[in-house]
Amino acid sequence: MADHRQADDFTELTYSTKAITIVPGIGEAGKSIAYVRKRDPSIDVEPHDQFNTFIALSSRCMHLGCPVRYVEAAEEFICPCHGGVYNFRGEVAGGPPVRPLDRFYTLVRNGYVYLGPRYSVNSELQRFAPRDPGQPLDGIGQYLYPSRFDTSKLPPTKPPAIASDGARDGLLMPLPKLLKRPAPPSPGQEAPLHPIDAATEAGLTVVDWIDERTQLSQGCAG
């Protein structure tokens, strides 16, 4: 994208709608929407790190994947297909969705906001590798629905690079930690849930923030 969105253009009070390319090479069918705002410490009480200074929510409903829209007057996300409702933070407020809206990692470099890979969250907004709509992550759901992320099909990646003008400058960015379904426990043992580095799960040590997931090859949230 030629348009680079500066961090100062976002606010804590409402979401900005950003078109992003999820699947490259298939035209409009590969595009989606991300809702982006600045983190508000008064309501965003999950642990703060470099990947959530800005909040970016997916527009896919976690019931069947239908597109949701943000209604500013109500400060809610509404799915018109099956009546799913999410609050301002993307948590389920009503209807059939089984978990909060998925999110994208965000990264601020040189005054610009970039979107990274998508991840899923449970009701406590803990991070998990991305799941499909309809797969819950609370209780036994996190064990019944492992991530469908197939590491064998990953293309080789280059070290990510982000510059204020959108050029590649050799900046390396490690993946944050995600939660993964553990191996099945032995009889009589409880199943522990261990946080691991998402790069281990993906077979990578770095993420190409521009090309790996969002394919924003020349830009940021814009």
Q: For residue range 51-92, what is the model confidence (pLDDT) as tens digits? A: 999 999 999 999 999 999 999 999 999 999 999 999 999 999
Domains in the chain, ordered, with CATH?
7-202 (2.102.10.10)
What pLDDT sits at residue 188? 67
What pLDDT sits at residue 77? 98
- Which residues of the chain register pLDDT less than 70? 1-5, 148-222
Give the pairing type, strands 85-86 and 127-128: unpaired
What pLDDT sits at residue 155? 42
Q: For residue range 176-196, what is the model confidence (pLDDT) as tens digits? A: 555 555 555 666 666 554 444
Burial of 118 (0-12, 13-18, 19+ CB in 10 A): buried
Question: Contact 160/172 with Cβ under 8 angstroms?
Answer: yes
What pLDDT sits at residue 174? 45
Question: Contact 1/78 with Cβ under 8 angstroms?
Answer: no
